[in-house]
Amino acid sequence: MKKVLIFTTSTGQGHNQAAASVAESFENDGYEIIKLDFLAKNSKILNDIIVIGYELLASKFPKFYGWFYYLTDKKLINKILRFPFFLAKKKVSKLIAEIKPDIIVATHSISISVISDLKKHGLKIPYVLIVTDFKAHYLYVDSYIDAYITGSNYTKQSLIDRNIEPDKIYPVGIPINSKFYTEVTSVNDLKDDEYFNLLLMSGSLGLNTIFIVLKELLKNPNKLRITVVCGKNDHLKNKLTKYCNDNEFENKKLHILGFTKDISYLMDYCDVIISKPGGLTVTESIVKNIPLIIPFAIPGQENENIDFLTTEGYSIYVKDLNKINDSVNYLIENPDELSKMKFNLKLLSSTYSLTKIVDIANNLILLK
């Protein structure tokens, strides 16, 4: 039985979700799966600094996070950033020797800091890296990666621009839960055509900006059915619930949810998603062919995701939260434009596959 070693990290839930999707695809092909949190397994100090640091900066100091993101998007800076991982190389090398995987797949670019050097010094195991956003930061750039999995040709071009060989890059979609492909709920009979259905999501960190967005939407004169997903932020959920219970809103149907595993169903039910543009959320919306209205983003990779989504006609970016209803009303009043966006998303999603990563891996194993 072939083995795949999957490295992930917990800087946001997207990398772990991608790893779970990859594991499912390889398991379905008969592989033995070894899935490890790359940082937590090898260095508690580094793990705490990077994971806690990411959550703190992204949620509390997003402008500083964005500054750091662009500061590190350079070749020289990345070489310096690899130095702290020096001690982790021996642990990872020993781990690989014990597991003896046929292939290594990583869902976070930090893995390069160790695997690249091991490849440089003789490691022959093929190494596949998944780019979980739509433009590749310099952290992703390395000549020792055998294959890149990307979410679009736009992402592929961003790697080519940084001298990665085109035949190493496969734009087959960021891995997401298979149910977004297979579980398609027929909800037309359930929908009330008088109401325009919005799914408002805040991401795994439950960003408080969602409260401002909801208050604006509740001022909209149109009939709106608004489902809000607060993630694991119980404080945000309680805050929104209290606000909605303490006020009356005409022509509105409201559902305030915390963490849920029913996002696929909720997407089927909605006409438009309002969310920050995280890589996996965007991919889920692409597969479901549901356009995004983007009223907030974590500076850095999510701003670059916005560039991709708006340039290609998949989403609308709202720069001023107080004007989000202008975008909602535009799509309500121009159904042909909404249909055009859905069609664009359908064309892109037709290039996606959860199984092609296994085919790519199998070919790399044969060539090693």
Q: What is the per-residue pLDDT across 32-52, written as a single tens digit (0 to 9) for each? A: 999 988 765 666 666 666 767
Average the pLDDT over 131-136 and give the result.
94
Cβ neighbours, 10 Å, residue 17: 24
Whole-number Å distance between alpha carbons of 31 and 3: 5
Alpha helices, DSSP H only, in the chain?
14-28, 38-42, 44-47, 53-60, 62-71, 75-81, 88-99, 112-120, 153-160, 179-182, 209-217, 234-245, 263-269, 279-288, 301-311, 324-333, 335-349, 356-367
* pLDDT > 90? residue 92: no
Average the pLDDT over 330-358 and give the result.
96
* pLDDT > 90? residue 59: no
Q: Give the β-pairing of 196-201 and 224-229.
A: parallel
Residue 205 is predicted with a pLDDT of 54
- Residues 238 and 164 occupy one common structural domain: no
Whole-number Å distance between alpha carbons of 365 and 115: 17
Residue 353 is predicted with a pLDDT of 95
Q: What is the DSSP track for 107-169?
A: SSGGGHHHHHHHHHTT--S-EEEE--SSS--GGG--TT-SEEE-SSHHHHHHHHTTT--GGGE
- Residues 169 and 185 occupy one common structural domain: no
Q: What is the per-residue pLDDT across 206-236, written as a single tens digit (0 to 9) for each? A: 566 888 999 999 999 999 999 999 887 888 8
pLDDT tier at 66, thresholds 50, 70, 90: confident
* pLDDT > 90? residue 337: yes
- Residues 183 and 302 occupy one common structural domain: yes
- Residues 235 and 337 occupy one common structural domain: yes
The CATH number linked to 51 is: 3.40.50.2000
- Residues 163 and 248 occupy one common structural domain: no
DSSP bridge pairs for 8: 37
Whole-number Å distance between alpha carbons of 247 and 363: 60
Q: What is the per-residue pLDDT across 164-185, written as a single tens digit (0 to 9) for each? A: 999 999 999 999 999 999 887 7
Residue 235 is predicted with a pLDDT of 85
- Residues 321 and 357 occupy one common structural domain: no
Close Cβ partners of 166 (under 8 Å, ≥ 6 residues apart): 156, 160
- The pLDDT mean for the chain works out to 89
Angle at 320 between CA 316 and CA 322, to 5 degrees: 110
- Residues 117 and 22 occupy one common structural domain: yes
Residue 22 domain boundaries: 3-173+353-367
- Residues 58 and 166 occupy one common structural domain: yes
Q: What is the per-residue pLDDT across 280-324, written as a single tens digit (0 to 9) for each? A: 999 999 999 999 999 988 889 999 999 999 999 999 999 998 999
- Identify the residue with better confidence: 61 or 296: 296
- Residues 219 and 249 occupy one common structural domain: yes
> Six-digit token pair at 284?
């889920």
Tokens 């159904």 found at? 335
User: How many domains, the chain?
Assistant: 2
> Six-digit token pair at 78?
């990345």
- The one-letter amino acid at 239: K
Residue 97 is predicted with a pLDDT of 92
Cα–Cα separations (whole angstroms), residue 42 to 7, 94, 97: 11, 11, 15
Residue 260 is predicted with a pLDDT of 87
Residue 184 is predicted with a pLDDT of 77
- Residues 184 and 324 occupy one common structural domain: yes
Average the pLDDT over 226-251 and give the result.
89
Q: Which of 191-195, 261-265, 304-308, 348-352 has the least mean pLDDT?
A: 191-195
- Residues 131 and 185 occupy one common structural domain: no
Whole-number Å distance between alpha carbons of 146 and 143: 8
- Residues 189 and 92 occupy one common structural domain: no
Nearest residue to 29 via CA among 359, 367, 365, 368: 359
